[in-house]
Amino acid sequence: NAGVTQTPKFQVLKTGQSMTLQCAQDMNHEYMSWYRQDPGMGLRLIHYSVGAGITDQGEVPNGYNVSRSTTEDFPLRLLSAAPSQTSVYFCASSGRSGSSGANVLTFGAGSRLTVL
């Protein structure tokens, strides 16, 4: 199993450009999510999905779109990039594997995005 795979690892955009961060998991997890990580602010939830065809907003959804057409894929779209979206983005999926029996988040390796 590859786990959670994110692409690209690095991306530089100009203000106003659009792009899609790809995320795929091969663990048959129902739940997937996107976080952004900024210094001193921890991991903030952007959007999440509890299954194919179902998505919902997290803490910081503005400027981002998601869709979940299959269980495996959960792409994150930036429609018009802004400098405030410069960040490290993590995709995650979850399934029951923790010692407490709860759903445990497994993160991808991260995507570093710079918007000029």
- Residue pair 83/15 in contact (Cβ under 8 Å)? The answer is yes
Residue 75 CA: distances (Å) to CA of 41, 85, 87: 23, 16, 16
Query: How far out from the chain centre does Cα 26 lie?
Result: 15
- Contact flags string 52-71 toward other proteins, x per CB under 8 A: ------xx------------
The minimum distance between CB 19 and other proteins, in angstroms, equals 21
The answer to whether residue 7 forms part of the interface with other proteins (CB under 8 A) is: no
Does residue 26 bind other proteins (CB under 8 A)? no
Full DSSP string of 25-82? ESS--SEEEEEEE-TTS-EEEEEEEEETTEEEE-S--TTEEE--SSSSB--EEESS--
Count of residues of this chain found to bind other proteins when the rule CB under 8 A is applied: 30
> Does residue 50 belong to the site contacting other proteins (CB under 8 A)?
yes
User: Residues 1, 2, 42, 62: which binds other proteins (CB under 8 A)?
Assistant: 42
Half-sphere exposure of 13 (CA within 13 A, CB side): 25
Q: Does 101 bind other proteins (CB under 8 A)?
A: yes
Nearer to other proteins, 78 or 91 (CB): 91
Using CB under 8 A, list all residues that contact other proteins: 31, 33, 35, 40-45, 48, 50, 58-59, 90, 92-95, 98-105, 107-110
